[in-house]
Structure 1
Amino acid sequence: MTVPVWPSELPRPTRPGWQGQYSDPRLKKSGDAGPPGYRRRWSSVARAVQLTVQLSRSQKATFDTFFEYDTRMGVLPFWMPDPTTDGWPMLTEIGTPVLDGAGNPVLLSAQWLCLFGSEMPVERIVGVEFHYSFPVWVMP
């Protein structure tokens, strides 16, 4: 079985809807005095990320098909370009883009292995756009 891939026709998630948080791998040690003590509960840590995408009518159909059929209503994992890294230019220490031999910026590439979160995608209509908000778990 192949892992579905986030459709390339869908836009990058918006910045205003972005929110991320690591799951807590710590287990508190019991103690009745002093500062809290922790130890690791597990070594790999998933990250919960809240995403929002703004879609046209045709992109909405693409998203609906991806969610309903490709991921079986959010049950199957999927690959998604990391919106914080993928497609952004690589920078030097002083913040200027690294260029290739033809003078084009070198772009970074990164993928996430994701699962849809415990809540189903929420759809809002804003003007002629469809805004979908949904949580994903980025797997370690």
Structure 2
Amino acid sequence: MTVLTWPPELPRPLRDRYQAQATDPRLKRAQDAPIPGYRKRYSNAANGVQLSLVLSRLQKGVFDTFYRDAAGRGTKAFWMPDPTTDGWPLLTPGGKYLLAADGSQVLMSKRWLCVFGDEPPSETLRGMTFTKSFSVWVMP
């Protein structure tokens, strides 16, 4: 089975709408003492991430087709660039950009294995752009 890839035509998610939350892999132990105790419920757990994209009409069509047809309305896994890492420049310990031999910046690369979240994507129309808000589960 081939895993889908996030469409490269789509822009980076909005930074001010990004929100991530780890899934709690613990199970609280039943006890009478007032101090809580926990044990592991799972060895690994997915992380939930809320994302929003500002899209042109053409990009909205790309997103809708990817979600509806390629990802089976959110039922299939896909690779997505990690918006907190992918494409960001590497820095030296002194805080300067790390440069390649040709003088270009060296960029980090990272991707997530995801599935769409529990709710289908929502959409807001603002002027000539669409804001798509959705969640993904990032697999461990």
Partner Cα separation in structure 2 for residue 25 and residue 92 of structure 1: 36
Which amino acid letter does the alignment assign opposite residue 48 of structure 1?
Answer: G
Aligned length: 140
| Counterpart for residue 82 of structure 2 | 82
Is 2:107 the counterpart of 1:107?
Answer: yes
> 1:55-66 counterparts in 2 under 5 A?
55-66=55-66
Is 2:8 the counterpart of 1:8?
Answer: yes
Deviations 1:12-57 (A, max 9, x none): 0001211110100011122211421112111112100000000001
* The 10-residue stretch of structure 1 (106-115 or 90-99) with the greater mean CA deviation from structure 2: 90-99
SS of corresponding position for 1:131: strand
| Counterpart for residue 132 of structure 2 | 132
Deviations 1:89-113 (A, max 9, x none): 1112232211111121110000100
Partner Cα separation in structure 2 for residue 13 and residue 101 of structure 1: 31
Which amino acid letter does the alignment assign opposite residue 101 of structure 2?
Answer: G
Structure 2, unmatched stretches of 5+, are: none
TM-score by structure 2 length?
0.96
Partner Cα separation in structure 2 for residue 16 and residue 127 of structure 1: 19
Which amino acid letter does the alignment assign opposite residue 14 of structure 2?
Answer: T
TM-score by structure 1 length?
0.96
Considering only aligned residues, what root-mean-square deviation do their CA atoms show, in Å? 1.0
Partner Cα separation in structure 1 for residue 24 and residue 135 of structure 2: 17
* The 10-residue stretch of structure 1 (8-17 or 34-43) with the greater mean CA deviation from structure 2: 34-43
| Counterpart for residue 47 of structure 1 | 47
The runs of at least 4 aligned residues of structure 1 exceeding 4 Å deviation read none
Deviations 1:52-109 (A, max 9, x none): 0000010011001100110011110111000000000111223221111112111000
Partner Cα separation in structure 2 for residue 94 and residue 34 of structure 1: 48
Partner Cα separation in structure 2 for residue 120 and residue 33 of structure 1: 42
Which amino acid letter does the alignment assign opposite residue 41 of structure 1?
Answer: R
Partner Cα separation in structure 2 for residue 68 and residue 126 of structure 1: 23
